[in-house]
């Protein structure tokens, strides 16, 4: 195995890790606030199409800032669709699982609708912003060769960890997820905290989705996130609601997905490439099963996860 091959493989792994890391971090915060939003896939798709549409529309006139605008549009699209979910579960107390699944389906449909005029179009990938010498150098590309979104995702890992564990707002958010009624009785606004968490989760999922349409394959295609939203969901459980483990888990899934790509590309494979393609999803099932078998699993799971907030007074 040559050093170039290892470098290329590593770069691919990082690229595939980023969207599920982004969506997973968002969902982690949402779940820590006690809300289970299963609509990650839908929010990613909405983010993907919003980001692409804005970048494509303004890309010719403002090539420098259009991708940044695209990222903002992706975040806004994801957050808005998440707030719709938030309204249903927080105001109307609808079932979180059912509403989340509905959001996943709704997002798939809505993104197809918005993306109708953009199918087959191509934009310039939102690549490295470092000088070419660094971004494409044989070794320096390992550090500098990525889209800004990759650095953003990596920076968000310690940021989210710090927020949850070191700030008062993070403490309140965890408290709301741990015992909503107590938090309410102390005088915190459970709904406000959850709205904020849900919006953040939607924005992160949206940015994760935009990574597909703006970086990996700089074009729009229906259902282009290919189920990565579901993997992001599993990742949160797999990580035991811990940010460090979320990063490790995302990287692990990134490796699995890279194996699939190489099996397809090289034609060399012990098993049909479909098996590799199925591997992340199989691993999701395996991970969830293993986790639920372990007695200590869920030790860090928010106690109010998925339960409606019904204050008595």
Partner 1 sequence: MTTRDTPRLELTGITKRFPGVLANDHVGFAVQPGEIHALLGENGAGKSTLVKMIYGIMQPDAGEIRWNGQPITVTSPKAARRLGIGMVFQHFSLFEAMTVLENIALGMDAKIPARELEAKILDVMKHYGLKLEPRRIVSTLSVGERQRIEIVRALLLNPKLLIMDEPTSVLTPQEVDQLFVVLRKLAAEGCSILYISHKLHEIKALCDTATILRGGKLVDTCNPKVETSRSMAEKMIGGSLKDIQRQPGAQFGAEKLVISDLSIPAAGHFGTALKGISFAVHAGEIFGIAGVAGNGQNDLLLALSGEVLSARPEAVTVDGKPIGLHAAKARRLFGMATVPEERNGHAAVPVFSLADNAILTARDRLGLAKSGMIRAGAAWTYADEVIEAFAVKATGPQAMAESLSGGNLQKYIMGREILQKPAVLVVSQPTWGVDAGAAAAIHQALVDLAAKGSAIVVISQDLDELLALCDTLAVINEGRLSKPMQVAGADIEEIGLLMGGIHGDAQATAAAKEALAHAH
Contact positions toward partner 1, by CB under 8 A?
168, 171-172, 174-175, 178-179, 181-183, 185-188, 299-300, 302-303, 313
DSSP symbol at 122: B
Min CB(166)–partner 1 separation in Å: 9
Nearer to partner 1, 148 or 170 (CB): 170
* 251 contacts: CB under 8 Å, gap ≥ 6: 13, 17
Residues 4-23 as b or e (16 or more Cβ within 10 Å = b): eeeeebebbbbbbbbbbbbb
Nearer to partner 1, 113 or 171 (CB): 171
Min CB(178)–partner 1 separation in Å: 4
Min CB(238)–partner 1 separation in Å: 19
Nearest-angstrom CA–CA distance, 100 and 260? 29
Closest by Cα among 287, 106, 113 to 202: 106
Nearer to partner 1, 174 or 228 (CB): 174
The per-residue DSSP string of 168-213 comes to: HHHHHHHHHHH-HHHHHHHT--HHHHHHHHHHHHHHHHHHHHHHII
Min CB(213)–partner 1 separation in Å: 38
Nearer to partner 1, 267 or 299 (CB): 299
Min CB(179)–partner 1 separation in Å: 5
- For residue 228 the two structure tokens come to 């990565």
Nearer to partner 1, 8 or 301 (CB): 301
Nearer to partner 1, 6 or 186 (CB): 186
Instruction: Write the burial class of residue 312 (CB in 10 Å: 0-12 exposed, 13-18 middle, 19+ buried).
Output: exposed
Instruction: Write the burial class of residue 303 (CB in 10 Å: 0-12 exposed, 13-18 middle, 19+ buried).
Output: exposed
Nearer to partner 1, 100 or 177 (CB): 177
Min CB(30)–partner 1 separation in Å: 17
Min CB(300)–partner 1 separation in Å: 7
């Amino acid at each position: 195995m040559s050093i170039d091959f290892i470098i290329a493989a590593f770069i691919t792994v990082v690229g595939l890790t980023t969207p599920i890391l982004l969506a997973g971090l968002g969902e982690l915060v949402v779940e820590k606030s006690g809300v289970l939003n299963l609509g990650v896939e839908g929010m990613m798709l909405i983010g993907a199409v919003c980001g692409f549409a804005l970048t494509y529309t303004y890309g010719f006139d403002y090539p420098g800032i259009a991708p940044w605008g695209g990222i903002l549009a992706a975040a806004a699209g994801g957050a808005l669709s998440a707030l719709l979910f938030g309204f249903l579960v927080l105001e109307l107390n609808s079932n979180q699982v059912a509403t989340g699944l509905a959001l996943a389906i709704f997002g798939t449909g809505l993104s197809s609708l918005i993306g109708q005029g953009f199918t087959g179009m191509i934009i310039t990938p939102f690549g490295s912003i470092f000088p070419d010498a660094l971004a494409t150098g044989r070794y320096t590309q390992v550090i500098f060769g990525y889209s800004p979104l990759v650095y953003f995702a990596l920076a968000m890992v310690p940021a989210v960890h710090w927020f949850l564990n070191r700030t008062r707002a993070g403490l309140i958010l965890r408290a709301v997820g741990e015992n909503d009624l107590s938090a309410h009785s102390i005088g915190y606004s459970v709904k406000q905290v959850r709205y904020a968490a849900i919006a953040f989760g939607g924005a992160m999922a949206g940015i994760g989705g935009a990574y597909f349409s703006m970086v990996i394959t700089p074009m729009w295609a229906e259902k282009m996130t290919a189920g990565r939203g579901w993997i992001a969901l599993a990742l949160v459980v797999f990580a035991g609601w811990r940010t460090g483990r979320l990063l490790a888990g995302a990287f692990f899934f990134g490796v699995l997905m890279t194996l699939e790509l190489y099996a397809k590309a090289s034609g060399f494979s012990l098993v049909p490439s479909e098996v590799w393609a199925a591997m992340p999803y199989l691993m999701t099932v395996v991970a969830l099963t293993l986790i639920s078998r372990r007695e200590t699993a869920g030790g860090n799971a928010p106690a109010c996860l998925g339960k409606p907030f019904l204050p008595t007074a």
